[in-house]
Amino acid sequence: MEAISMPEATDHGPKLHICSDFHKTIEFIGRKWMGIIIYSLLDGPKRYHELIGRIEGISDRVLTERLNELVKEELVKKSYLDGSLKKVQYELTPSGEALKDVMLSIRKWVEYKNELEKK
């Protein structure tokens, strides 16, 4: 992946050239609810009802859509339990696990920001 470079300046400051894969990834995980779903799976596999119970405010329809997108992008694995089509479990794939440091860094930044606001 190409690094961020600043080869030319404009009237508005340096112009950044960012790898398109990086940009697509940030746009994808930055979609509403995507990050919190990934974050909720960091501590292990979850059934659908566990996720809907953990993520306040998300609708059934949106959770289903986001999980399907995460499965399609191979960040989350969907497994059927006990041979049943109704008992489903979701867990991060190795690619999804690779986002752990990113998610924890974002959480740390949010905590830092909240502490600043209290002062």
C-alpha dist (Å) from residue 51 to 13, 18, 67, 115: 43, 33, 10, 28
pLDDT at 86: 80
Report the chain's terminal Cα–Cα distance, integer Å: 40
pLDDT at 9: 47
pLDDT at 14: 62
Element (H, E) at 79: strand 76-80
Looking at the structure, give the CATH architecture of the domain made up of residues 32-118: Orthogonal Bundle (1.10)
User: What is the maximum alpha-carbon separation in the chain?
Assistant: 62
Say if residues 42 and 105 touch (Cβ distance below 8 Å). Answer: no
Q: What is the pLDDT along the chain (119 residues), one digit of tens a residue?
A: 444 444 454 555 666 667 888 888 888 888 899 999 999 999 999 999 999 999 999 999 999 999 999 999 999 999 998 877 788 999 999 999 999 999 999 999 999 999 888 87
Whose tokens are 């191979």? That residue is: 74
Q: In the chain, where are the structural domains located? A: 1-30, 32-118
Residue type, 68: N
The pTM score is 0.78
